[in-house]
Amino acid sequence: MSLTVAIPKGRLGNQTIDMFKSAGIGETIDEDSRKLIFEDKKNDIVFMLLKNSDVITYVENGVADIGISGKDMVMEKNADIYELYKMNIGRCKMSVAGIKGKRIFKDDTILNVATKFPEIAKKYFSVKGQKIKIIKLNGSIELAPILGLSDVIVDLVETGNTLKANGLEIFDDMYDINAMIISNKISYKFKREKIKETIEIIRAEDEKNDKNN
C-alpha cells in the first residue's frame, strides 16, 4: 500500500521537496519537468504536484493520503481532514490592512472587505461584531482600497513590503500561518504507521534546518 503525497507547486512545494530529498526520499521528483506524478519506488511513495489551493481537495477526497498545504487554505476550506503537523516553513500572517492612517471606522455602516479568503474574513469579523461585505478577488488585493473598491483587505502578509509600496499598513494581525501536513481521515486509519514515519522525517528536517539558520 503505497503512500500518496500531494505537494503544492511553487515555493512551498519546492521547499518541501528539498526536505524530502535531503532525507533521501523522492529523488525522482523533477520540478522543472512537465510531469505531475512522480513515483519513489524505493520508499513506496507517490508524489503529486498540484495547484496549492487544490491540495486540500485531493486530500479530503482521498485521492492523496497526505498533503502539504498552507494553514490559510486549511482555514478557508474548513475541510474534514486531519491537521497532523505544523511545519516550520511557509510562515507568514493573515492580516487586515488598509490605507495608511485610515484605520478608524466609527460609522455604523458595513465595512467593505476585499480578499481571497472570504470564509476566514467572515469568521474573523463576525467574532468582532463588525458587519462586512465581502468583495472576492483573485489577485492584486492591495489595489482594492487604493482604487476605492474596498475599505480594507484581508490577505497574507510576509514581509509587508508589498503593502508599504502601495501605501497600505497593517491594522490587525489575525492569524499566524504555517505550512501544514494534512491527512485524509480514512487514509490515516489504514496507513497510520507510514504517515507517522513520513511526518517524523519532515520534523527531523525542520529541526535540522532550524539549527542551520
Partner 1 sequence: MDFLKIEDEVKFSHKMFILKREIEQFLCEEGYRNIEPSIYENYDEFTGINFRVDKKSSVKLLENSGNIFILSPDITTGIVNKLMPRWELGLTLKIFYYGKTYINNGIGIKENRQMGVELIGEKNNNTDESVLSIAIKTMKKYSNQYLFEIGNSKFLKGIMQACSFNNYDYKNILNLLYSKNKQELKEYLSKISYKEPMSTLINIFDLEGSLDEILQNLKGLYINDLMQQGIDELCTLDKSLNGNTHKIIYDLSMVSELSYYDGIIFRGYIDGSNKVIIKGGRYDSFTEQYGYKIPAIGFSIELDELIKTIYEEEMTI
Q: Which is nearer to partner 1, 19 or 75 (CB)?
A: 75
Q: Choose the stretch contacting partner 1; rule: CB under 8 A; options: 82-90, 107-115, 140-148, 205-213.
A: 82-90
Which residues are within 8 A (CB) of 157 and not within 5 positions of it... i.e. 6 or more apart? 92, 93, 94, 95, 97, 163, 170
Between the CA of residue 22 and those of 45, 64, 184, 202, 205, what are the distances in Å? 15, 22, 25, 10, 8
- Residue owning grid cell 480514512: 186
Residues 159-188 that bind partner 1 (CB under 8 A): 183-184, 186, 188
Q: Applying CB under 8 A, which of residues 47, 58, 85, 117 lies at the interface with partner 1?
A: 85
**82 scored as a contact of partner 1 (CB under 8 A):** yes
**86 scored as a contact of partner 1 (CB under 8 A):** yes
Cross-strand pairs, 40: 45
Between the CA of residue 66 and those of 82, 162, 164, 174, 209, what are the distances in Å? 9, 32, 37, 27, 22
Helix axes 11-22, 192-212, angle to 10 degrees: 100
Closest alpha carbon to 202 in 53, 10, 27, 21: 21
Contact present, 66 and 6 (Cβ < 8 Å): yes
Q: Applying CB under 8 A, which of residues 30, 37, 51, 61 lies at the interface with partner 1?
A: 61
Q: Applying CB under 8 A, which of residues 62, 110, 130, 173 lies at the interface with partner 1?
A: 62
C-alpha 48: how far from its chain's center? 17
Give the count of residues interacting with partner 1 (CB under 8 A): 16
Q: Which is nearer to partner 1, 27 or 176 (CB)?
A: 176
Amino acid code (one letter) for 98: G
Mark residues 13-52: x for contact with partner 1 by CB under 8 A, - for none.
----------------------------------------
**122 scored as a contact of partner 1 (CB under 8 A):** no
Element (H, E) at 88: none
Q: Choose the stretch contacting partner 1; rule: CB under 8 A; options: 47-55, 83-91, 137-145, 156-164.
A: 83-91
Shortest distance (Å) from residue 116 CB to partner 1: 22
**126 scored as a contact of partner 1 (CB under 8 A):** no
Q: Applying CB under 8 A, which of residues 31, 39, 54, 83 lies at the interface with partner 1?
A: 83
Q: Which residues bind partner 1 (CB under 8 A)?
A: 1, 61-62, 81-86, 183-184, 186, 188-190, 192
